[in-house]
Structure 1
């Protein structure tokens, strides 16, 4: 029977791959047979491109042929779901998904699922938190499930690099299902620590099938170019010479947008991909890359797990990722079905600052957790997230993270009813030792990436495989270290670097005006509801991203070293205004006052006004001390901190349109409040102008 079953599975494999000569890779058939014949619980750790999805699709087809119920597949990203549904269709599997982008199809999917007409139901882990889904779909089919599959299983472990709290719910769901259901968990990026945690959570009987992680087609090289302009120049020169199309990863959305626009200006067909885009737009971009209609997709980690383009010619990192597992998972997208592909890691001066920011914000501090619980315990009728923002100086993201982690505890010290959260009578004690250990691990992972990027003399591929606890990390013979020479030139031409600097210096950043006041934030000024057009700031401009290779570094030095913005920055702002040409053009200049550094911004504003041949009038007075805006962590607190802080003096020319100048812009609330006060004081339109934008701002 096993030989007959294997032949049937091989035929399905060939149909799925559209290749009559295809055969199983080492370990694929063994995993499928174990699930079908032994109803095993498996963890498959195999390199990207090995074919982990084929294991659960072929197992599903063979189990369904035997009369088993549908497969429930937990999958973390919508992009991954789309690729999987297309692959399933080729071998006669009807797959469906219930997710936030197809709400109009939910009822049909539910009807077909309960009627046995769907073979695989794909859901995100977040769907498990939805009570209606659990009660109306999951419970009715729970006793009929034929295979329970968890893709990207490293997300289940908070030791892993992509921990997603909702993956914790998988453990509870699995415990409620019949114990004889075969279980398959798959990942390409789990070291021994993560593997052990997955085993501890899913099942002590979880059997591990682990393969070689060496990617034979991938050629690796590391290039340290501290300046963003140097990396931009390198990419402009080298991308046209690279095979096919590929991905360029950045650590921030703003870097992705600016880099893509720079490449377009250099005649390279590039697009931007990040989490702020609508699902339909992201799908269009994925399709364009899949069909090689663009040279490069400049992406954040939003384009990560599950995106599968077998002939991807290169993956380049504009900045250094925070961990080896992150890097391996991303660079492994390249070269799955081609003989040669490039994995190039660039590294910049800003890498540590960005990674440290992500480490600091990864886990809520114990104090934050306690303050959320105290606020909920003191509330008679629960609190919504906006109400918690009013009570606590935490970002909305941190509040959401605290509530999600607390809700996943068993028993949970919080519960949610409609839009409000309530404290439950549970004596909760956070595991602060574990959070400290996790934070230390993040820093150790960062150290390993520095080592990989630095004076590393061993094979680059073997280094990655060893850090992922590959049992046999052999030399690849293809990377820059193995060959003893550069795969690609490392130094960009000075001419293109200068072009990149000039591009950055002309790459003005739009400051979008805010349009709504936070509820109850302005008890003194009495602002509420929508910001009326006659009080609203106009769209403004920022000269740079903080610390960038255009104006950002000069602004940084002027603010913290020289306590003065030099004439070159003044000229840069003047030229930006010439490009901008706001209408109606301002007739005077004013600035945001500061009690801590009273001369810095006024001196700059005066020099800029002189250059524009406009009067400078410091009509804004700081009448109440406030905490620094950078210490305010959510929109309510940022706005409320400014309530009653400023007053406006009048002058004979106040009715004219005005430039409102500040050195830094982050939340935009300072500009928003002062613009409203100026308009109330009789001014014309208010155009905000900042020297730098915080690129890590929410």
Structure 2
């Protein structure tokens, strides 16, 4: 157990530098449980700066170097001198779990405050009053909580002996994992007495990010940067023609990779598809994405730590906070959008082992995915102004749900924008929701242009990494502005290809068949969005049973590994409107045949019964594609083609990317059934109808169209589409 005895004031003042080193080394050895443990280069220097000089310190060191040892040792030394507990701002619940567990093993008494834990503030308060907490961890999101910020944070700051900002690259809007809530930490630091030391730590920061963090830490920052090269990692890149070849390579060679590891993908659907295909082939893998239930995530992490699975097939949701020292490999199916993000993810491997393998299998679709995520995360001036105006005109706090009906933004985009505006001082979170602050606000176009330019440069750097003939570790670390970058002697360019490059033809055929596994359910909308009356639409609550769609089907998602590729080409900006390609038409027929036989628990045709006719949507951009698909399905299925709905001139503008309320309003009066179609619907009154469209996104278009068909006598409406946007 680490001793927490306090030093008297004279004792504390008379400790020499050598005395601090001796005492710090003793604490370190207690922490790690090894009597021969020594500091890594830079560890004691950081501890000394915090304990002896109370400095503001930035530590940029590679993953596995021991940044947590710095703040745990410094915390206990400061506590021995009579300081209050250390306050650690930590970005992820998973990271907090690991940090609390690590602290407990080391004899450091830690408590956490976040939205998910069951520990109430009064328990934290009691621990602070009794001086029995050495470390208090909080999530940055707590800094936006009005009651916490007003009632509890002042007391916590008054007791704080050391402030630690973990994963400090999240402060920087240049960083690959920027979080608006982190920008509040600069104000937090400004409110601390000058005698309270501050430590910021990160493993993933280039020169631009370092400069940004230093600015927000304040004057007199001591920056300690170590070499970022990882001797334990063996890097490689293998270019293969398509997703089928990449999956066939995994099917053949996954078990040959050392130990257990992580397979990263760029999208949720790619993670789910890959996990399914590998599992069906007998490999012990699990999908891990932002959609995975938190309890299932925690269980999956533990199974990997216990080597009960060969790999987790994960998106970037598995990153900071996951610590498995003996992780044997990291494989990427598709490249992250920057060397910084890539370094952060591969840093999960080889932290406590002499050797770990890192292989990148880039894909031709990577650049499209990079552009999508980059554009989705950037705030737009018009929408920011719309949010501020809506709050100002309301004259009272509005919840996110209420605000959503007034501005054309999806929930996740709206929440992100509100956080950005709150940090800028334009809005503030109060009891009951959000309100305008009344302070002037202007869109920082220069800053966002700079960020966009930096992201493009980072994407270009990632392509250079893939194509370089030089040392890969040297390139990655040099892009991170590591002045000690040098050839590693281990990567595929330094020492020759260390991984097999062959793809078994039989496995390629199997992967192709599994990728061509078609069919994604189109779940029916069950409830109207809140606040539709404010947009002049007279609906609310649950959608009546007589207006509900039946469960439908789409061939695939645009982000899928299999049909996603040809579908992305078909729906690309500027692509011509053509008849449905034969290969996709055949896939649709196969999908419909399976649906007719009962491909889910709902039974054949989702329990609605065999369609008595086919209706097509009136596409504004691809009428030829939609009509050819609908007529082809009708012909193959020997069903009457009843015709197409008509577009009305009174349709509102439903901009892609808007929230549910605005999307519904945009299509509410967009369609009509002509006399001929109404007559044909009357002939099959009460019988099921197959409604065909090209691309499904929000599902409100199909919901409104299906409601219209039911009002004109159709029975259950079964939606069918080539693709889903998600």
TM over 0.5: same fold? yes
Q: 1:622 aligns with which of 621, 644, 647?
A: 647
- Tell me the distance in 2 between the aligned counterparts of 1:144 and 1:601: 66
Q: How does 1:521-600 map to 2 (within 5 A)?
A: 521=532, 526-546=538-558, 550-556=562-568, 560-561=575-576, 563-580=578-595, 581=598, 582=605, 583-588=607-612, 589-600=614-625
Q: 1:447 aligns with which of 456, 460, 469?
A: 460
1:63-96, Cα deviation, whole Å (9 max, x unpaired): 2223221000011111111111111112211111
**Contact 2:284 2:309 survives alignment (8 Å):** yes
Cα 1:362–1:525 shift into 2, 3 Å = closer
Q: Could you tell me how far 1:23 is from its partner in structure 2?
A: 2.1
Aligned: 1:474 with 2:486: yes
**Contact 2:169 2:177 survives alignment (8 Å):** yes
**Contact 1:595 1:625 survives alignment (8 Å):** no
Q: How does 1:210-289 map to 2 (within 5 A)?
A: 210-289=225-304
- Tell me the distance in 2 between the aligned counterparts of 1:210 and 1:67: 30
1:563-596, Cα deviation, whole Å (9 max, x unpaired): 0113432321121123332224323222222244
Q: Could you tell me how far 1:691 is from its partner in structure 2?
A: 1.1
**Contact 1:505 1:544 survives alignment (8 Å):** no
Q: How does 1:486-505 map to 2 (within 5 A)?
A: 486-505=497-516
Cα 1:71–1:541 shift into 2, 3 Å = same
The aligned residue for residue 367 of structure 2 is 352
Q: Could you tell me how far 1:294 is from its partner in structure 2?
A: 0.9
- Tell me the distance in 2 between the aligned counterparts of 1:366 and 1:673: 31
- Tell me the distance in 2 between the aligned counterparts of 1:284 and 1:48: 24
Q: 1:682 aligns with which of 704, 710, 713?
A: 713
Aligned: 1:35 with 2:46: no
**Contact 1:547 1:555 survives alignment (8 Å):** no
Q: How does 1:2-21 map to 2 (within 5 A)?
A: 2-3=17-18, 5-21=20-36
- Tell me the distance in 2 between the aligned counterparts of 1:360 and 1:652: 48
The aligned residue for residue 191 of structure 2 is 176
Q: 1:290 aligns with which of 297, 302, 305?
A: 305
Q: Could you tell me how far 1:599 is from its partner in structure 2?
A: 3.4
The aligned residue for residue 8 of structure 2 is none
1:435-477, Cα deviation, whole Å (9 max, x unpaired): 11111111111111111112x1211001011111112111110
The aligned residue for residue 367 of structure 1 is 382
**Contact 1:73 1:151 survives alignment (8 Å):** yes
1:217-260, Cα deviation, whole Å (9 max, x unpaired): 10000122342222222222221110111111122112111111
Any idea what SS the aligned residue of 1:42 has? strand
- The number of equivalent residue pairs is 691
**Contact 1:502 1:550 survives alignment (8 Å):** no
Q: Could you tell me how far 1:627 is from its partner in structure 2?
A: 6.4
Name stretches of at least 5 consecutive residues in structure 2 with no aligned partner: 1-14, 599-604
Q: 1:435 aligns with which of 433, 448, 457?
A: 448
Cα 1:416–1:88 shift into 2, 3 Å = closer
Of the structure 1 ranges 14-23 and 247-256, higher mean CA displacement relative to structure 2 is found in 14-23
The aligned residue for residue 438 of structure 2 is 425
Name stretches of at least 5 consecutive residues in structure 1 with no aligned partner: none
- Tell me the distance in 2 between the aligned counterparts of 1:135 and 1:253: 38
- Tell me the distance in 1 between the aligned counterparts of 2:570 and 2:201: 51
- Tell me the distance in 1 between the aligned counterparts of 2:562 and 2:442: 48
- Tell me the distance in 2 between the aligned counterparts of 1:543 and 1:18: 56
Any idea what SS the aligned residue of 2:200 has? strand
- Tell me the distance in 2 between the aligned counterparts of 1:149 and 1:504: 46
Aligned: 1:518 with 2:529: yes
Q: Could you tell me how far 1:179 is from its partner in structure 2?
A: 0.8
Of the structure 1 ranges 284-293 and 627-636, higher mean CA displacement relative to structure 2 is found in 627-636
- Tell me the distance in 2 between the aligned counterparts of 1:70 and 1:86: 17
1:519-577, Cα deviation, whole Å (9 max, x unpaired): 35487874321122332222222112227563344445556346011343232112112
